Amino acid sequence: MQVEANRGPIEELDVQALAVAVFKNEKSDEGFIKKLDELSGGLVSSALEAEEFVGKEGETCYFHLVGNNKLKARRLLLIGAGEPDDYKLGEISQLVGTAVRSLRSKNAKSIAVVPRASGNAEETAATAVQGAFIGLFDPDKYRTVEKEQKTIDRLVVVIEGAEDGAVERGVETGRIVGEAINFTRDLANEPGAYMTPTDMAERAREIANEFGLSIDVLDEARMEQEGMGSLLSVARGSDQPAKLIILKYTPANATVDSSELLTFVGKGVTFDSGGISLKPGENMELMKYDMTGGATVLGAMRAIAQLKPPIPVLGVAPCTENLPSGKATKPGDVVKAMTGKTIEIINTDAEGRLILADAIAYAKKLGATKVIDMATLTGAVSIALGDVNAAVLGTDQELIDEIISAGREVGEKFWQLPLDKEYSKQIKSDIADIKNVGGRKAGTITAAAFLKEFADGISWAHLDIAGTAWGDDAKPYRSKGPTGIAVRTLLRIVDRASKQA
């Protein structure tokens, strides 16, 4: 899809369809809507006066512009934007997602979107484009019949009155971020057979070569040398070799304090059967997306390489399958992590924390000072927070607050869970330093308490995205399937850190 910036006027837009945001209870006799009403030959006031459409968030109203009107576009879609005060970046993204999905289904090939946000034009344009990319992602890659065949070839983002260059810059950023989010979703959506640890490493190499990142991929022999007994214990049951992917972005002319190394670490379990502690069959197919944390790191690094912030960023993705076999780790086994800590494996299905433990330790060895890890770590997080909020926990309250507020700005929700030291009692082992599960109570917290054992001496926060990484239902603004949660927030954090630097 070709994306273009435009500063109006809307009557001159040479597209098949025009999509315009309309606020709740907006009047048709003043401002932009008055102008749109005149241009459309009175259609807008007719719909508003009939109260067929009142501008509620997500509402749509669609017209064919036949007869007496002054717009070049032959079709018009009004989209409810809700209350102006609540119309933030997350809402803009969803509104544009709704617009493109709706117009694509009506076979429009070229469309213009008028988001009508009052804020910064560059940011609005970036968010609009990113929302369009999110909206147009389809998970049906392997369908050969009744596939979504329609495509939007050209998208024009219109911000009237914007300063010269702002919409162009925003459109470019939006494309980079939108493509990164869909890159992550595409990886998460792939069947386990086509997204093995080796495949993930290959995709990481492609990004590194195409966009200019340094890359290192540790194979099992090197993990052995590093003493990563925890990560390796998960890989033991599989015929696919584990990979530890390291991507690094270094700014061309580093002018800033290089002692800080922001690092993203993501769980890359390319299929989680549970191992010897085998999962029930129902929904097990979804465990292909247990590598979403790793894919999120890859997606974020892909965007960072193109956005070129002035600060360095490290990305780490431990990748492995978790399968049962005659070689697999058994409940009761004891393994030794890179830090020397011994771990009693109680349940082989609590594998994510085992691979993250060594990945965080290795990130520290590479100089990481500020680590955000992300993982589809616990089913318990869905019980606590459903599919609305991801959980955030950690040892650095400032970093946690930063994640929550960056998320809020871009429309991604994170809710903090406590991590008091008392919870760590639940992971004490009788025969080793710690054990990998902490019983039925507070499963998301005890998983984080386990990770905390490996995050001493650094600023650390953990995101549990098990409940938010996969959408069970389609929304008007996106398909069902992988959501791409956290990519935007991570990029926002990098952006904020860049501005402070």
Please report how close the Cβ of residue 491 comes to ligand BES at its closest, in angstroms: 23
Query: Of the two residues 408 and 413, which places its CB atom closer to ligand BES in the complex?
Result: 413
Q: Report the alpha-carbon distance of residue 377 to residue 266 in Å, rounded.
A: 10
Exactly one of 9, 31, 340, 379 binds ligand BES (CB under 6 A); which one? 379
Contact 331, 211 (CB under 8 A): no
Structure tokens at 215: 């890359």
Q: Report the alpha-carbon distance of residue 209 to residue 205 in Å, rounded.
A: 6
Each as own residue / partner, the long-range contacts of residues 278-282 (CB below 8 Å, 24 or more positions apart, any chain) are 278/324, 278/349, 279/349
User: Measuring CA to CA, which residue among 133, 170, 178 is closest to residue 6?
Assistant: 170
Report how far apart, in Å, the C-alpha atoms of 339 and of each of 229, 360, 361 are: 10, 10, 7
The reply to whether 184 sits near ligand BES by the rule CB under 6 A is: no
Is 279 annotated as catalytic?
yes
| Contact positions with ligand BES (CB under 6 A) in 222-241 | none
Q: Is the peptide bond before 331 cis (omega within 30 degrees of 0)?
A: no
Query: Of the two residues 190 and 272, which places its CB atom closer to Zn ion in the complex?
Result: 272
User: Measuring CA to CA, which residue among 463, 500, 86, 77 is closest to residue 300?
Assistant: 463
Query: Of the two residues 351 and 358, which places its CB atom closer to ligand BES in the complex?
Result: 351
What lies within 8 Å, CB to CB, of 430 at 6+ separation is: 344
Q: Report the alpha-carbon distance of residue 57 to residue 24 in Å, rounded.
A: 8
Residue matched to tokens 């709706």: 102
The reply to whether 378 sits near ligand BES by the rule CB under 6 A is: yes
Please report how close the Cβ of residue 10 comes to ligand BES at its closest, in angstroms: 44
Give me the catalytic one of 279, 341, 408, 413: 279
The reply to whether 332 sits near ligand BES by the rule CB under 6 A is: no
What lies within 8 Å, CB to CB, of 50 at 6+ separation is: none
Please report how close the Cβ of residue 198 comes to Zn ion at its closest, in angstroms: 19
Q: Report the alpha-carbon distance of residue 181 to residue 185 in Å, rounded.
A: 6
Please report how close the Cβ of residue 436 comes to Zn ion at its closest, in angstroms: 10
| Contact positions with ligand BES (CB under 6 A) in 276-295 | 290
The reply to whether 483 sits near ligand BES by the rule CB under 6 A is: no
Query: Of the two residues 362 and 470, which places its CB atom closer to ligand BES in the complex?
Result: 470
Query: Of the two residues 189 and 378, which places its CB atom closer to ligand BES in the complex?
Result: 378
Q: Stretches 3-11, 148-156, 300-308, 370-378: which one binds ligand BES (CB under 6 A)? A: 370-378
Residue of closest CB approach to ligand BES: 379
DSSP string, 195-228: S-HHHHHHHHHHHHHHHT-EEEEE-HHHHHHHT-
The reply to whether 272 sits near ligand BES by the rule CB under 6 A is: yes
DSSP string, 313-364: EEEEEEEEEE--STTS--TT-EEE-TTS-EEE-S-TT--HHHHHHHHHHHHH
Exactly one of 122, 321, 344, 351 binds ligand BES (CB under 6 A); which one? 351
Exactly one of 60, 120, 347, 369 binds ligand BES (CB under 6 A); which one? 347
Contact 13, 6 (CB under 8 A): yes
Query: Of the two residues 347 and 405, which places its CB atom closer to ligand BES in the complex?
Result: 347
Contact 304, 495 (CB under 8 A): no
Residue 465's identity, in one-letter code, is I
Query: Of the two residues 208 and 287, which places its CB atom closer to ligand BES in the complex?
Result: 287
Please report how close the Cβ of residue 284 comes to Zn ion at its closest, in angstroms: 11
Q: Is the peptide bond before 241 cis (omega within 30 degrees of 0)?
A: no
Give me the catalytic one of 104, 243, 353, 492: 353
The reply to whether 352 sits near ligand BES by the rule CB under 6 A is: yes
The reply to whether 380 sits near ligand BES by the rule CB under 6 A is: yes
186 interface partner picked from ligand BES, Zn ion, none, CB below 5 to 8 A per type: none
Name the site residues for Zn ion (rule: CB under 5 A).
269, 272, 290, 349, 351-352
Kindly report the number of other CB atoms within 10 A of residue 163's CB atom. Answer: 10
Q: Report the alpha-carbon distance of residue 368 to residue 200 in Å, rounded.
A: 22
- Residues in binding contact with ligand BES, number by CB under 6 A: 15
- Show the site string, 428-447: x = touches ligand BES by CB under 6 A, - = not: ---------x-----x----
Please report how close the Cβ of residue 389 comes to ligand BES at its closest, in angstroms: 15
CA 105 to chain centroid, in Å, comes to 25
453 interface partner picked from Zn ion, ligand BES, none, CB below 5 to 8 A per type: none
31 interface partner picked from Zn ion, ligand BES, none, CB below 5 to 8 A per type: none
Q: Report the alpha-carbon distance of residue 235 to residue 464 in Å, rounded.
A: 22
Please report how close the Cβ of residue 327 comes to ligand BES at its closest, in angstroms: 19
Query: Of the two residues 19 and 437, which places its CB atom closer to Zn ion in the complex?
Result: 437
User: Measuring CA to CA, which residue among 225, 224, 232 is closest to residue 197?
Assistant: 232
Is 141 annotated as catalytic?
no
Contact 269, 355 (CB under 8 A): yes
Query: Of the two residues 76 and 442, which places its CB atom closer to ligand BES in the complex?
Result: 442
378 interface partner picked from ligand BES, Zn ion, none, CB below 5 to 8 A per type: ligand BES
Please report how close the Cβ of residue 435 comes to ligand BES at its closest, in angstroms: 10
| Contact positions with ligand BES (CB under 6 A) in 450-479 | 466
The reply to whether 350 sits near ligand BES by the rule CB under 6 A is: yes
Q: Report the alpha-carbon distance of residue 122 to residue 489 in Å, rounded.
A: 18
State the catalytic residues.
Answer: 279, 353
- Note the residues at the interface with ligand BES (CB under 6 A): 272, 290, 347, 349-352, 376-380, 437, 443, 466
